[in-house]
Amino acid sequence: MIKTSITVTAKQMQEIEERIFSEGMPVASLMEKAAVFASQKITQLYPLNLYQKVGFIIGCGHNGGDGLVIARELFLQGFQVSLYIPLREKSKDLTKQHLQYAEFLGIASVEFIEDLSTCDFIVDCLFGFGLTRNIEGKLREDIIWLNQQSIPVVSIDIPSGIHTDTGNVLGIAVKAVYTLCLGLWKVGLFLSSAVEYTGSLHLIEIGIPESLLMGEGIRNDDDEREEKNPPLYPPNSEERKREKNQTENVNYSFHCQYVSETNPRIITKEDVKNCLPLPRHVNTHKYKQGNLLLICGSNQYAGAALLAGYGAKCGGSGMITFAVPHGLKKTLISHFPWALVIGLPVKEEGTIISLRNLDLNKYDAIAFGMGIGREVSAYQEQTLAPILNSEVPLIIDADGLNILAEGRYWQTIKQRKSPTILTPHIGEFKRLFPQLNLSENSLEVLKMASKMTNTTILLKGAKTLVSEKGINNWIVNLGTPALARGGSGDVLSGFLGAVIAQTNFNIFPVSKVVATCGWLHQQGGILAAQNHTEMGVDGVTLSEYINKAVVKTLGD
Ligand SMILES: NC(=O)C1=CN([C@@H]2O[C@H](COP(=O)(O)OP(=O)(O)OC[C@H]3O[C@@H](n4cnc5c(N)ncnc54)[C@H](O)[C@@H]3O)[C@@H](O)[C@H]2O)[C@@H](O)CC1
Ligand SMILES: [K+]
């Protein structure tokens, strides 16, 4: 269902609702529907037998109107309801009407927010997508007070104070335990500045017709599934490489009158299942299952090469070759007896100084940079330059990104015909693109960066974002702080490399496969933390759980 995966801006949501209203749906009916469904969710989360006293913070717009309908429903079910209505005089007509009826029913209003201090939970209906300017004055004080209480807060549509499009905090914002988003996901909910405010996210289905969201060019999962097992090619055939690896702005997103094709989609479990290189063709062999080259490690950071190897192991590629400092060869072989290990020359400090005469084009994917050390930068002409000139899908991570940040190779990258995937965390992103201000609007900045560099960027953070050339954009709506640990990124790069090596980009857009890997990486972290706590998720454990995440996802 496209409704559960698309994200919208405030303007797009307004336009969609305007259309629904212009086609005959009364505004009050849509509000009633949204709020009644939201009230049902609230009573599931806070059943009356356990939670009797509920407070509402009611704004002047339709978010406040929703709040009054929810308050009415809960009151009629027997909850003790108190309303705090700081902007009463400015209320919109529909909100006023619901207020009048609430008062008729005898629902209590309180004068100060502090009067809600004895509530079992509070419902935040101060502002929704109509918030346009910073929250100031008394309202600001109210939200500061609210955030200091230990009373759980449920935000309706979006935590009041969060910008619907950028996720930025407009002065101050409510910290919710749950956010019940109405109808369609508001994009700001998934952006890093909003993450600590939203709590657990739930989408409330309000019956927005799918026909309004569909349009020409939608590629649905069934199309993809049919094409998933294309004819098998002889190994290393030039024809296969050309077909498989070169993508010319393939755009698999939807075209809809109201939602831009560049709006990010939430990667779903179904997307993930569909993008995995499974099931394997019965007549396959190792060179048809992806030939991955990992160029990684230094004497100082040998562990990064190992962790990339563990990540690659769970990505299932048919052949894995490590190109590492020759001093690491024995260690690598002892961990990965099934892999080929090529020793490369190093300088005294233990960093790779040349790729010797590696035939890079014979691989199906290359992952470069994990633990290579910053000193490798001095040898970039012998290391990074030939890699960028290869005609192979390429993943660049860690110190590989730090070399890129020196800025000499953007032109070469832009001209690459095969996919280039960058996997920075926020600090690396800022070093790569010092001219861009990530905190202003992280999504738009990411889109801009991937567009101007002709790359796919996976931006690591509390929520992972993926943008391919600014066109195909994805949000990974899963995350765990258990992965905030050295080595998690190396595992991801290896895993990505192994999956990318098996992917035919004529069938799946790079961005979707990258988001799939990001999703499984997080899901692996979540499952690992469930069994080992957030303290117990080291890189090796994580890699085991990525495989468990694959098994669980396929079984669900
Ligand atoms: N469009 C619709 O009819 C529907 C909207 N729904 C609800 O309506 C919400 C959007 O309603 P609105 O467009 O009325 O917007 P809001 O309820 O978010 O509030 C907008 C009001 O707040 C005022 N305002 C904005 N920033 C302010 C600030 N910093 N300080 C003080 N006042 C400020 C505006 O002047 C306006 O009066 C959604 O989030 C959702 O909860 C749902 O009921 C479903 C139907
Ligand atoms: K709200």
Report yes or no: 332 and 306 within 8 Å, Cβ to Cβ. Answer: yes
CA distance 32 to 123: 16
- Asked if residue 67 has its Cβ within 6 Å of ligand 1, the reply is no
What residue's CA is closest to ligand 1, atom 9?
A: 63
According to DSSP, residue 468 is labeled E
CA distance 298 to 383: 13
How far is the centre of ligand 2, averaged over its atoms, from the C-alpha of 509 (Å)? Answer: 35
> Whose CA is closest to 377, among 355, 404, 357, 409?
404
Exposure string for 485-514, b = 16+ CB within 10 A, e = fewer: eebbbbbbbbbbbbbbbbbbbebbbbbbbb
- Asked if residue 324 has its Cβ within 6 Å of ligand 1, the reply is no
Interstrand relation of 365-368 and 340-344 (parallel, antiparallel or unpaired): unpaired
According to DSSP, residue 363 is labeled S
> Whose CA is closest to 9, among 224, 184, 235, 171?
184
pLDDT at 285: 83
How far is the centre of ligand 2, averaged over its atoms, from the C-alpha of 168 (Å)? Answer: 14
Please list the residues that pair with 179 across neighbouring strands.
155, 201
| Secondary structure element (H or E) that encloses residue 76, with its range | helix 62-77
Q: Which atom of ligand 1 is nearest to the CA of 17?
A: 1
Report yes or no: 80 and 86 within 8 Å, Cβ to Cβ. Answer: no
Amino acid at residue number 252: Y
| Residue ranges of domains in the chain, CATH in brackets | 2-211 (3.40.50.10260), 242-432+439-555 (3.40.1190.20)
Among all ligands shown, which has an atom nearest to the Cα of 173? Answer: 2
How far is the centre of ligand 2, averaged over its atoms, from the C-alpha of 155 (Å)? Answer: 5
Ligand 1 pocket test: which of 60, 96, 127 has the largest number of ligand atoms within 8 Å of its C-beta? 127
CA distances from 517 to 154, 475, 487 (A): 31, 12, 16
Mean pLDDT by 10 residues, the chain (556 residues): 89 96 97 98 98 98 98 98 98 98 98 98 98 96 98 98 97 98 97 95 95 60 45 45 53 69 93 90 84 97 98 95 97 97 93 94 97 91 95 97 94 97 97 94 96 98 95 95 95 98 90 98 98 97 97 93
- Asked if residue 123 has its Cβ within 6 Å of ligand 1, the reply is no
184 appears as a binding residue in the annotation = no
3-state secondary structure of 35: helix
What residue's CA is closest to ligand 1, atom 26?
A: 131
CA distance 238 to 256: 38
pLDDT at 393: 97
pLDDT at 256: 76
134 appears as a binding residue in the annotation = yes
Interstrand relation of 365-368 and 394-396 (parallel, antiparallel or unpaired): parallel
| Secondary structure element (H or E) that encloses residue 265, with its range | strand 265-266
Report yes or no: 294 and 494 within 8 Å, Cβ to Cβ. Answer: yes
- Asked if residue 86 has its Cβ within 6 Å of ligand 1, the reply is no
147 appears as a binding residue in the annotation = no
- Asked if residue 355 has its Cβ within 6 Å of ligand 1, the reply is no
